[in-house]
Chains A and B, each alone.
Chain A
């Protein structure tokens, strides 16, 4: 039990903080840069991401280990649809303002790069429990940055916090645009790297080696590669 706890703690420290999905691995930054313009939006995105990633990783770990990679990709998008569409319906009915401000980025989360990378790199190679832990660790890292970016942009961009006006702060609307989001991510990324250098210099190599899939893996992921190989085998 203590080993499991230590493992979860280690995974959260490594996957959530040291190799943060947004600041270090630069995965899934599109919704962060474009849609996280307020705390509420960030919260809504966090809920969708959490449901989608946990479901995907657990499902991939349980059933997809022996399925070819190009089929798995399609299954991830199906899981994405199963999660995102009901959430969209709920938002449209009960919080139309959030739904409209998230715009196209909510349906786009059907095929999230965060899901694909974590399922492919981790879930299909590990047990269900470890995959679940990995999902939790990545989600903590991802959602914390999502909320931080949403908060900073809401305060500085529109001069509000949770929709309430802050006196003496005149919003800089440029920060609500996607380029403003990228600026905020850049600043947070620099601050994160500075913290790593200051507190854990031995872990610096961890943030400098990025997530890369092997070229051969990429080839195998394509449908054309699979079909060509099938024909080759048949002939």
Chain B
């Protein structure tokens, strides 16, 4: 009966794929930070799975580890925090993500916000000194995002190759730009539609980086200015958002045009928040704000477009009559 398969709901492979992708980042993180990163990752993943199990028991839902959402929350939380952070920080962050963002809304596809972004944002508010303090022999503990936001001359001391391979201070799994670009390629191959979100987000960030550099630098085409543009694109959570957040299946719109607008909106919010906020990187806040305002923005933008299209289709018939 081949017809039966037509009606079978296709299982999403997004979260399992992303969990496998995280293993690459974990390997890089362990290579750069040592076994501390592995320990943080393990604690975070175990606590996320345990909390998700408890959450499912509370709301009387069937606990499914196969959808990999709990693993995704735990793993990504650990990779977004510094390797040296105390072990209780990812645990609290995962508890917040699951008990206050995921569980109250029912299940995976019903939460209106990114659980990981909410957990990291909460910890950024509660313990900014722990979340944004990095230890590295390379540039004395200040991340590129921090030095870019404060305009300190450390940027000129950062070697571009080190920035690409991740040997710079930053979140434990997010510093290696080469690995992140590799993951973008995985997104392109495995989830080509989600890649539209990433591409529109990255292009928006690139335009933002060019504009910000043009404001501060005398000559936009000087080697230093180009270097700063590169560092802006590789630093902080820019690539992390492009790979993990803007593509998140449960929150992303389904139509291609909507996806482009979604990516652009997240990029614009991210650039503005990074300039305005007191945190060195406001990526998690930008994701939450976009999640909050996207439904209204989508309704406004596409309703107006639809109305215009309706008017355009009505006009010729009127002229004919």
**A173 on the interface (CB 8 Å rule)?**
yes
Bound together, the chains give a CA A187 to CA B99 distance in angstroms of 9
Most chain-B CB neighbours within 10 Å: which of A170, A177, A183, A186? A170
Partner of A190, one of B92, B104, B125, B127: B104
Which residues of chain B are near A187, meaning CB under 8 Å?
100
* Smallest beta-carbon distance A47→chain B, Å: 30
* Smallest beta-carbon distance A57→chain B, Å: 35
Interface size on B, residues (CB 8 A): 8
**A74 on the interface (CB 8 Å rule)?**
no
Contact indicator per residue, chain B 111-141, by CB within 8 Å of chain A (1) or not (0): 0000000000010011100000000000000
CB-based contact A173/B125 at 8 Å: yes
Bound together, the chains give a CA A174 to CA B122 distance in angstroms of 7
Which residues of chain B are near A183, meaning CB under 8 Å?
100
Instruction: Give the interface size bracket for A toward B.
Output: 10 to 19
* Smallest beta-carbon distance B221→chain A, Å: 44
CB-based contact B104/A172 at 8 Å: no
Bound together, the chains give a CA A183 to CA B101 distance in angstroms of 10
Which residues of chain B are near A186, meaning CB under 8 Å?
100, 104
Interface of B is mostly: helix
Bound together, the chains give a CA A132 to CA B127 distance in angstroms of 46
Interface of A is mostly: helix
Contact indicator per residue, chain A 187-206, by CB within 8 Å of chain B (1) or not (0): 10010000000000000000
A:137-195 near B, CB below 8 Å: 170, 172-175, 177, 183, 186-187, 190
Which B residue sits closest to A183, measured CB to CB? B100
Bound together, the chains give a CA A5 to CA B100 distance in angstroms of 41
Which residues of chain A are near B127, meaning CB under 8 Å?
170, 172-173
CB-based contact A174/B126 at 8 Å: yes
Bound together, the chains give a CA A175 to CA B104 distance in angstroms of 18
Which A residue sits closest to B130, measured CB to CB? A170
CB-based contact B100/A172 at 8 Å: no
In the assembled complex, 18 residue pairs joining A and B whose CB atoms fall closer than 8 Å, in A order, are A170-B88, A170-B127, A172-B92, A172-B122, A172-B126, A172-B127, A173-B125, A173-B127, A174-B122, A174-B125, A174-B126, A175-B126, A177-B125, A183-B100, A186-B100, A186-B104, A187-B100, A190-B104
Q: Which residues of A contact B (CB under 8 A)?
A: 170, 172-175, 177, 183, 186-187, 190
If A172-B127, A174-B122 are given as contacts, then 16 extra A-B residue pairs at C-beta distance below 8 Å, sorted by A number, are A170-B88, A170-B127, A172-B92, A172-B122, A172-B126, A173-B125, A173-B126, A173-B127, A174-B126, A175-B126, A177-B125, A183-B100, A186-B100, A186-B104, A187-B100, A190-B104
